[in-house]
Amino acid sequence: MKKYIKIYKKINSFNKKIEVSGDKSISIRCVLLASQAIGVSKITNLLESEDVLNALKAIKHLGINYKKKGNAYFINSYGLNSFKIKNKLKINAGNSGTLARLLLGLLVDTKKEITIVGDNSLSNRDFSRVTEPLKLFGANINSNNKKLPVKILGTEFLRPINYFETKGSAQCKSCVMLAALKTPGLTRIKARKSRNHTELLFKYLNIPITVTKKINYDFINIIGQKNFNSFNYKVPGDISSSSFFIVLAILSKDSKLIIKNVNINKSRTGIIKILRDMNAKVYLKNIHDYNGEKIADIYAESTLNLKSINCPAKINSSAIDEFLIIFLVAARAKGVSSFKNLGELNKKESPRLDIAVNFLNLIGVKTKRIKNNLKIYGNPKIKLEGNFVMKNFMKDHRVFMMSAITALAFGGNWKIFDKDSVNTSFPNFFKILKFIGAQLN
């Protein structure tokens, strides 16, 4: 099997309706919360990507059974204390920071030591951001110089904590929220704004939680050790996966795209706001509620007169996984776009800020980077010719997909390595690309 794809041709005009797979963040949270609920939970449209399959494997290793029937996963648990833990258990979180960090929260009371490992990319990421608060709960944790493998041994004497989340990281916030579930008493969290799927699921499941929203921070209180019942949940489409297709439609000639049933939670739609501010034709229709989340159909159309943006840093967390693809739009916009405080981008599956700057320069787009601030000098006439090779990006799924969209929107003869990386978050990526008319070799 070859490891790369070749793209030699821009995509032709298209006018299509598509549906992307289930949201990754919500899928992982549903699996982990079903592992704590009393009874059989039924989850439909669960994303079947490697990150989520690793979440299912992880709960299986912890003694939770599940089966798949048709489009639904049935996960059977007996409540907050139902993990059965073997001696010397090692759990591989693969590429998923969300899985590794959230699962550590659930293991804060483990009676036997568990080791969490991951792939090369995950083994290079910082875990002190979750091990430090988990130590405050009383857990015994060792890391390898702040990185994986992390070994965790819980304590019978868990105590609730007061925690201040300063990075705008939903993974840190959610890790502490899940640990709070296991802890007697009241855990209080003050968190910079970040995606709030865990809060919404806690509310939906009637877990004792209050959330007070202030301009810059959310104040979250959780009372722990309260069992909750199993649930049914239909995972909505993933806006992060949708974003590659939204941008392809905007940058392609005479094209239109409708993406059905996408989660448009405000804590995730930074990309829509940014694209609109850049004049892009993106609309949300059929907006409706689903258990606290918001769902809509996204309409995107070719836009010729894109303009640059001075992107306020407070949007960063709601667009954190979409910046790579947003940078492509800035590359085609009139004027100089500016993005600030993007340090967290370098802490993802690959150092995405560094990679983005190299990539933009590879395709001839001028950039100016000062520390974690980036200026992109747009060129409305951008058109690529000649050969381009994209490799050595730590198999980062989003870098791969952004490269493929560049080839299809701007042209050039491309060879893009590590095509299997799409399986991390979006196994249907190639199928949908072909459906809208992309020629891939």
**Which lies closer to ligand S3P via its Cβ, residue 164 or residue 435?**
164
Residue 321 appears among annotated catalytic residues = yes
Is residue 25 involved in binding ligand S3P (CB under 6 A)?
yes
* 320 near ligand S3P (CB under 6 A): yes
Between residues 193 and 348, which has the closer beta carbon with respect to ligand S3P? 348
- Segment interacting with ligand S3P (CB under 6 A) among 168-176, 177-185, 213-221, 383-391: 168-176
**What CA dihedral angle connects 202, 293, 340 and 327, to 10 degrees?**
130
Minimal CB distance residue for ligand S3P: 25
Q: Measured on CA atoms in the order 405, 406, 412, 417, is the torsion positive or negative?
A: negative
Stretch that binds ligand S3P, among 14-22, 163-171, 307-315, 431-439 (CB under 6 A): 163-171
- DSSP helix/strand/coil, 388: strand
Minimum CB distance to ligand S3P smaller for 54 or for 303: 54
CA atoms within 13 A on the CB side of 62: 34
Lookup result for tokens 């993106």:
282
Question: Could you tell me the sign of the dihedral formed by the alpha carbons of 170, 131, 121, 59, in that order?
Answer: negative
Nearer to ligand S3P, 241 or 255 (CB): 241
SS3 231: coil
Question: Exactly one of 169, 255, 318, 423 binds ligand S3P (CB under 6 A); which one?
Answer: 169
Extract the tokens encoding 328.
């492509």
**Which stretch in 30-38, 140-148, 167-175, 203-211 sits in contact with ligand S3P by CB under 6 A?**
167-175
User: Where does 144-289 have alpha helices with state H?
Assistant: 170-181, 197-204, 239-251, 270-277
69-to-3, 185, 408 alpha-carbon distances in Å: 32, 38, 37
Q: Among 36, 49, 171, 318, which residue interacts with ligand S3P (rule: CB under 6 A)? A: 171
Q: Is 421 in the site for ligand S3P (CB under 6 A)?
A: no
Q: CB atoms < 10 A from the CB of 383, how many?
A: 11
- Of the candidate spans 104-112, 166-174, 184-192, 430-438, the one that interacts with ligand S3P by CB under 6 A turns out to be 166-174
Of residues 41, 54, 92, 174, which one binds ligand S3P by CB under 6 A?
174
Which range in 170-178, 326-334, 352-360, 431-439 contacts ligand S3P by CB under 6 A?
Answer: 170-178
Report how far residue 29's alpha carbon sits from residue 181's, in angstroms, rounded to the nearest whole number.
Answer: 14
Least distance between ligand S3P and beta carbon 57 (Å): 18
Question: Which DSSP string corresponds to 331-358?
Answer: HHSBSEEEE---GGGGGSSS-HHHHHHH
Terminal-to-terminal C-alpha distance of the chain: 13
| One character per residue 184-223, x = contact with ligand S3P (rule: CB under 6 A) | ----------xx----------------------------
Establish if 27 lies at the interface with ligand S3P (CB under 6 A). no
* Complex with ligand S3P: residue 321 or 418, whichever CB lies closer: 321
Task: Kindly state the tokens that stand for 431.
Answer: 């199928």
Catalytic: which of 218, 238, 321, 418?
A: 321
321: its two tokens: 């996984």
In degrees, rounded to 5, the angle at the alpha carbon of residue 82 between the alpha carbons of residues 76 and 85 is 115
- Provide the minimum distance between the beta carbon of 199 and ligand S3P in the complex, in angstroms, as a whole number: 11
Amino acid 345 reads: L
| Residue 365 within binding range of ligand S3P, rule CB under 6 A | no
The number of beta carbons lying within 10 Å of the beta carbon of residue 71 is 10
Q: Residue 91 forms beta bridges with which residues? A: 116
| Shortest reach from residue 52's CB to ligand S3P, in Å | 11
Q: Residues with catalytic annotation?
A: 321
Site residues (CB under 6 A) for ligand S3P? 25, 98, 169-171, 174, 194-195, 320-321, 344, 348
